[in-house]
Amino acid sequence: MKKFVLLLVATMALTACKTVKIENGEVPDEYLARAKKVEGVYQGSFEGRRGELTIAFQGNRPVLSYKDARGDSFVMPQCQSSVNDLKWAYVTRKGAVESVGFYFDPGVCYMDGREVVLSFSDDYNTIRVSILDRRYFDRRCRWEVTDPRYGPREICEVTQRDVTLNGKFSR
């Protein structure tokens, strides 16, 4: 009986939120009213540079743009990067949009990230922006003696470390 209750609680926790995959960059009609709550102009900074983040809608298609003193690119202007269609949205069980991801093309600059992730505050007045810059894999090894008859053996672990570019914007 305990296992059944535990399984039921775990299932309910997993079904509380869901990721909605977006086709053709357009928000499905059933989510459009909720999605339009994030529409607007936000002031803030990205990687220490003051700028303006804009979310606008062209029909059902959200358009994300960023502008600062250096131009309209999240990364260096010479990269010719671009933010493209909406890729996914993470919606809570109550219907609130918690975060979204847009396709990102880093242009001619080398970056590991291929999406811009926007995370929203509960009242949609603050947005946190992140783009994966680099993904590093660190290998750490140590010597252990588990059985003196066989001598020491090397045990290695690989850990992943992500470096992201971040920003915060408010209405």
CATH number, residue 65: 2.40.128
Q: Judge whether 37 lies within some domain.
A: yes
Q: Which of 112, 88, 124 is nearest to 165 (CA)?
A: 112
CB 146 within 8 A of CB 15: no
Question: What was the pLDDT predicted at 21?
Answer: 85
Mean pLDDT by 10 residues, the chain (171 residues): 41 61 87 88 94 94 92 85 92 85 92 94 93 95 90 94 95 91
Domain total for the chain?
Answer: 1
Give the alpha-carbon dihedral of 120, 126, 131, 133, to 10 degrees: -140
Q: Judge whether 148 lies within some domain.
A: no
- Buried b / exposed e across 136-168, counting CB within 10 Å, b at 16+? eeeeeeeeeeeeeeeeeeeeeeeeeeeeebebe
Helix, strand or coil, per DSSP, at residue 43: strand
Q: Judge whether 86 lies within some domain.
A: yes
Q: Judge whether 38 lies within some domain.
A: yes
Question: What was the pLDDT predicted at 75?
Answer: 86
Q: Judge whether 10 lies within some domain.
A: no
Q: Which of 23, 29, 90 is nearest to 60 (CA)?
A: 29
Q: Judge whether 101 lies within some domain.
A: yes
Question: What was the pLDDT predicted at 127?
Answer: 95
- Buried b / exposed e across 19-58, counting CB within 10 Å, b at 16+? ebebeebbbeeebeebbeebeeebebebeeeebebebeee
Provide the domain limits for residue 115: 16-136+163-170
Would you state the structure tokens that stand for residue 15, as one six-digit string?
A: 């079904």
Residue type, 23: E
* Strand order, beta sheet including 153-170: 17-21, 82-92, 97-105, 115-120, 126-144, 153-170, 40-46, 49-58, 61-68
